[in-house]
Amino acid sequence: MALNIKVKSIKVLEGLPRFVYILAVIAALGMSAGLYRLYAGLNDTTNLSTVFPWGLWISFDLTNVAFSGAAFTLSMLVYIFHMHDLHAAVRPTVLFGLLGYSSVLVILFFDLGRWDRFWHFLVYPNLSSALFEVSWCIAIYSGILTFEFLPIILDKFKNAKISKFVEKITVGMVIAGITLSSMHQSSLGSLFVIQIHRLHPLWYSMMQPEFFLVSSMAAGISTIIIGSYVSIWMFKQTLSEKIIEKLGSFVPWIFGLYLLMKLGDLILGSKLELLFTSGILSVLYVAELLLTLAAIIWFSIKKLRSTRKNAVNGALIIAAGIVLNRFDVTWFAMKSLDGSFYFPSLIEIALVVGVACGLIVVYSLAAHFLPVFSETLPVKDLPSSELEVLQLTQPVAGD
Amino acid sequence: MAKYGFLIDASRCIDCRACLVACSVENNVPMKSTRIWIKDSGVTGEFPNLERYTAPFHCMHCIDPSCVSACTVGALQKNEDGIITYDNEACIGCRYCMYACPFEVPHFEWSKQFALITKCDLCVSRLAEGQKEPACAATCPTDAIQFGSRGDMLAMAHERIRSQPERYVEHIFGEHENGGTSTFYISPVSFDQLGFPTAETTDSPAHFNRIATEEGTPIIAAGAAIGMTGIYLALEHNGKKQAVRKTEHAEDKHDTAGKE
């Protein structure tokens, strides 16, 4: 009997890429590292200390939230700006957002000294705390993402009545989602407004909330473009070049605004001199600016953004700029009290890698059982010119 | 209002650490607990004129405390006497206060399975029992730590520097730091040398934090909600008008086609 069930469950999983099983093992190892941390405390398991109380986990969380901004950015374009031609990207993106935020919450849980009290923000309010606000916004927004994910589940069960109701209130939910996203994306920047004595002046700015908010939209677009490429070999599904081109066309505007704000902050804050006098930190800051500028130029050129491969390379430039920025703010440009350099422990790294792998596993399972890619383009339907560029040898039946 | 104040005089401190013992006993915390510790200038000068200065350091009890402004769950509060209290029943151990405090005061129980923040609460329960002073001040054998009303302590600090200018540098640490605190330090050597943290002497970071969280965020939220609704309705309206025009156009065509 037991064997029967086992065989059946394996059959159900047929067609799932093999390496997902490997990722599942890594995820399990990562979670065990996390559980061990809960048992042993932070001192023996992490390199966090009084001189550097937040580490890799916080850097990962902030980066992840930026990339998960894909969900609110896309739903804004599709539902608010009526760009229904982008609709095919909604389901895969909403799923990524949902899982992205969930993984942030998982890591935060392991980061707390009193993880058993993770729910305390619900009953102990402090309205002036950016972290309190972020907690609430992410909690509610996760609910909204779940709602936006509902049509995928309802599709499977074909309940017309509920589907219609869901459709009716979608726009309201999307507006609420964008509002909450604007709040928590910017509030993550507010976290650093109080750290004037801690964060390097090149990065310290009253505009930090706005920097994070604006850049999260570009991060979101890079997520979608890179995701559409990954899904080619993971799920044999992708987005049309037309959609990718259109998404890419917003990057120069978003990053253009971001770069202007950054430069304005440098000039108005009379920080230009620091660009040359801060050693390695100057290099990191200039690298951020150059990556931003490179992405602006890349996506301004229609030829580059309208072919899949070039657009993905451009999206990788965006992603590099975002990762560098979030790691700079939370880690490299953050003063350690005794001047020593923090580097994460193996367990810290294991948990992050494990949670990231777990995200891919859950995504794959969801895509396996639910019509996540119901509106996307099957790889076999791609024009043959594209298949050649992608070097995909597609066995064509009857040819 | 800040009712109480400390005056801590580095020229009087003999590094006996009786205050650390007193704090440990009073609050029933281990000696290595980090509610109070010693700042040390190290040995300076040239033999035989060597000098070394120390001063006990604990929570400054700021007028506008950054930690209170930052704490996710409001575990840190400023009470009506100006004491910054800590509620270990509410704290979740997120360690945001450690980044918010410019004086590097909140410490964390890194080794514990269920870890919390440790911080001086000015012996608030001891004062509530009617005792006059916190344990550290009551114990200090050289009166390096003195305790009283904030106004008296500040006046005393000014008076000592005025009457013995050769003994002190002209700087009362805590008078303006972080927008003003309830703990005042005077010292024969600069506070930099004593290893004190450098804090902004203008507004407390709590002030900037409030601008971001209590003004910035609501503006962003309102902007997003109203802006998105407006754009949606405008485009929806536009779309409908276009659709009507299209059908009208089609009907016109149909009409003319019918006439022909």
The Cβ-side half-sphere exposure at B72, using a 13 Å CA radius, reads 26
Q: Is A77 on the interface with B (CB under 8 A)?
A: no
Domain boundary, last residue among B203, B229, B244: B203
Q: Judge if the upstream peptide bond of residue B134 is cis by omega within 30 degrees of 0.
A: no
- Kindly tell me if the per-residue pLDDT of A395 is higher than 50: no
- Please check whether residues B181 and B248 belong to one and the same domain: no
- Please check whether residues B38 and B125 belong to one and the same domain: yes
Helix or strand run (H / E) with residue B46: strand B44-46
pLDDT digits (tens, 9 = 90+) for B139-172: 999 999 999 999 999 999 999 999 999 999 999 9
Q: Which residues of A touch B74 (CB under 8 A)?
A: 124-126, 129, 132
- Kindly tell me if the per-residue pLDDT of A351 is higher than 70: yes
Q: Which of B232, B205, B247, B211 is nearest to B102 (CA)?
A: B205
For position B249, what pLDDT does the model report?
74
Interface subset of A 9-48, CB within 8 angstroms of B: 38-44, 48
Q: Is A168 on the interface with B (CB under 8 A)?
A: no
- Please check whether residues B115 and B161 belong to one and the same domain: yes
Nearest CB to A194 within list B34, B208, B224: B208
- Please check whether residues B192 and B216 belong to one and the same domain: no
- Which one-letter amino acid corresponds to residue A45? T
Across the strands, what pairs with B149?
B4
For position B257, what pLDDT does the model report?
55
Cβ contact B93–A128 (<8 Å): no
Q: With bands split at pLDDT 50, 70 and 90, how would you rate the model's confidence at A5?
A: low
- Please check whether residues B198 and B209 belong to one and the same domain: no
For position A10, what pLDDT does the model report?
64
Domain boundary, last residue among B160, B181, B203: B203
Task: Collect all residues with Cβ–Cβ distance below 8 Å to B45 and sequence separation of at least 6.
Answer: B51
- Please check whether residues B42 and B143 belong to one and the same domain: yes
Q: Which residues of A touch B91 (CB under 8 A)?
A: 113-114, 117
For position A398, what pLDDT does the model report?
37
Q: Which residues of A touch B209 (CB under 8 A)?
A: 128, 130, 190, 193-194
Give the range of the structural domain holding residue B139, as residue numbers without chain letter.
Answer: 4-203
Residue of A nearest to B195 (CA): A338
Q: Which of B223, B117, B218, B119 is nearest to A130 (CA)?
A: B218
- CATH number, domain containing residue B97: 3.30.70.20
Cβ contact B113–A118 (<8 Å): no
- Please check whether residues B19 and B83 belong to one and the same domain: yes
Q: Give the separation between CA B188 and CA B9, rounded to whole angstroms.
A: 9
**A382's tokens:** 């791609």
Q: What is the mean pLDDT of residues A57-81?
A: 96
Superfamily of domain A53-333: Formate dehydrogenase/DMSO reductase domain (1.20.1630.10)
Q: Give the separation between CA A291 and CA A310, rounded to whole angstroms.
A: 16
Q: What is the mean pLDDT of residues A263-285?
A: 94
- Please check whether residues B208 and B85 belong to one and the same domain: no
- Kindly tell me if the per-residue pLDDT of A232 is higher than 60: yes
Residue, of A149 and A329, whose pLDDT is higher: A329
Task: Collect all residues with Cβ–Cβ distance below 8 Å to A47 and sequence separation of at least 6.
Answer: A55, A342, A343, A344, A345, A348
For position B255, what pLDDT does the model report?
61
For position A43, what pLDDT does the model report?
94
Alpha helices for A16-129 (secondary structure H)? 19-40, 42-45, 56-68, 70-75, 90-111
- Please check whether residues B95 and B120 belong to one and the same domain: yes
Q: Phi and psi (nearest 5°) for A234?
A: -85, -40
- Kindly tell me if the per-residue pLDDT of A339 is higher than 70: yes
- Report chain A's mean pLDDT, rounded to a whole number: 91
Q: Which residues of A touch B99 (CB under 8 A)?
A: 53-54, 194-195, 198
Pick the range with the lowest mean pLDDT from A87-96, A289-298, B72-81, B246-255.
B246-255
Kind of pairing between the strands at B4-9 and B183-186: parallel
Residue, of A360 and A391, whose pLDDT is higher: A360
Q: With bands split at pLDDT 50, 70 and 90, how would you rate the model's confidence at A56?
A: very high
Cβ contact A195–B216 (<8 Å): no
Domain count, chain B: 2
Domain boundary, last residue among B164, B179, B203: B203
Q: What is the mean pLDDT of residues A69-83?
A: 96
For position A397, what pLDDT does the model report?
41
- Kindly tell me if the per-residue pLDDT of A8 is higher than 70: no
Q: Phi and psi (nearest 5°) for B173?
A: -70, 120
What does pTM read for this prediction?
0.91
Pick the range with the lowest mean pLDDT from A186-195, A327-336, A360-369, B237-246.
B237-246
Across the strands, what pairs with A212?
none
Residue of B nearest to A111 (CA): B94
**B33's tokens:** 């607990």
Kind of pairing between the strands at B54-58 and B36-40: antiparallel
- Please check whether residues B85 and B211 belong to one and the same domain: no
Identify whether the C-beta of residue A179 lies closer than 8 Å to the C-beta of residue B225.
yes
Q: Give the separation between CA A313 and CA A222, rounded to whole angstroms.
A: 10
Q: Give the separation between CA B132 and CA B122, rounded to whole angstroms.
A: 11
Cβ contact A182–B223 (<8 Å): yes
